[in-house]
Amino acid sequence: PAFVLRLSEPATARIAIQRKRGGKRLRPFRVLRTKVPATRVRVALPRRKLAPGSYRATVVVTDPAGNVSAARRIGFV
């Protein structure tokens, strides 16, 4: 899987991935931090395969001035 981000200025993206385990409970799985340019960019997950199951990713972007975006969440299987 990969995420597509559209940014108006260069920034640092933090993508926190949680895995659904035991019904509705979400457990931390992995956190990715990457610097992204001011454009539409594709951020791929590491090449290691994800185990079958339900996941949720939360994306927060911080610009060089320290301004933080609202968190965006997306679920995927």
pLDDT tens for each residue of 20-72: 887 778 888 889 898 999 989 888 877 677 888 888 999 999 999 999 999 99
Q: Read out DSSP for 56-68?
A: EEEEEEE-TT--B
Euclidean distance between CA atoms 58 and 35, whole angstroms: 16
Minimal CA–CA distance to 61: which of 72, 51, 77, 50? 72
- Say what percent of the chain tops pLDDT 70: 97
Q: Any idea what DSSP says for residue 22? A: S
Distance between first and last Cα of the chain: 10
Q: Per-residue pLDDT for 4 more than 80? A: yes
Q: Any idea what DSSP says for residue 1? A: -
* Greatest alpha-carbon span in the chain: 40
* Prediction pTM value: 0.82
Q: Provide the pLDDT for residue 51.
A: 83
